[in-house]
Structure 1
């Protein structure tokens, strides 16, 4: 597993540095501000759009009995919290659909397809 630059972890620990850690699916999402009638500002994360599936670089993986998105992410990226990268690379609404049927072939993002947060084992 590749080492994370020491300053990246330090920046993630600073409150207000950015709203989401670097490994979050929302790290690059735009933050919007809604003003209530009384002037109060409410911050929110704007919609996160996925790249078109045909532009993503993936490698095929045949689902085996016992596979789960988090276990695949641990094996492929060294971080079970990166399951969302696999979900983003496949046209499913529920991540559990990815591995609910043994023998199904799903796409696993390759480093060129999803450069940020890529930590290979």
Structure 2
């Protein structure tokens, strides 16, 4: 459950370094102190979640890539937000998100929402 006060903070510039919908929202923020004492904040590496090698259907659902699809199209279709393509990229073993839709007919995995349904799935 999302804390309503924390949600309100998302609307205040500078309250969170990244909005809740960003793949970096939960990334740790580091501080580098330069020789002159100036502090520089940076986002530490975001480690990807491990990909389930046994194909557990409880975590993802298959999607067959159609001609002309792009990662942002899939983000809109399955999550209602084209910027959420990164959730699909995280669920598949790709280095470049364009690999997700490079070959029409290939099957990729779409992460499921908690409870087993497709998060925000929208037809069409």
TM score, norm. by length of structure 1: 0.84
Offset of 1:89 from its aligned partner?
0.7
> How many residues end up aligned between the 2 structures?
112
Unaligned 5+ runs, structure 2: none
In structure 1, the residue matched to 2:52 is 54
Offset of 1:71 from its aligned partner?
0.5
Q: Structure 2: how far apart are the matches of 1:30 and 1:81?
A: 21
Alpha-carbon displacement from aligned partner over 1:26-67 (angstroms, at most 9, x marks no partner): 000000000001000000000111111018811110101111
TM score, norm. by length of structure 2: 0.82
Q: Secondary structure at the match of 2:109?
A: strand
Q: Structure 1: how far apart are the matches of 2:100 and 2:121?
A: 21
Mapping 1:63-102, distance limit 5 Å: 63-102=65-104
Q: Structure 2: how far apart are the matches of 1:83 and 1:70?
A: 5
Offset of 1:7 from its aligned partner?
7.0
4+ aligned runs moved over 4 Å, structure 1: none
- Establish whether residue 14 from structure 1 lines up as the match of residue 16 from structure 2: no
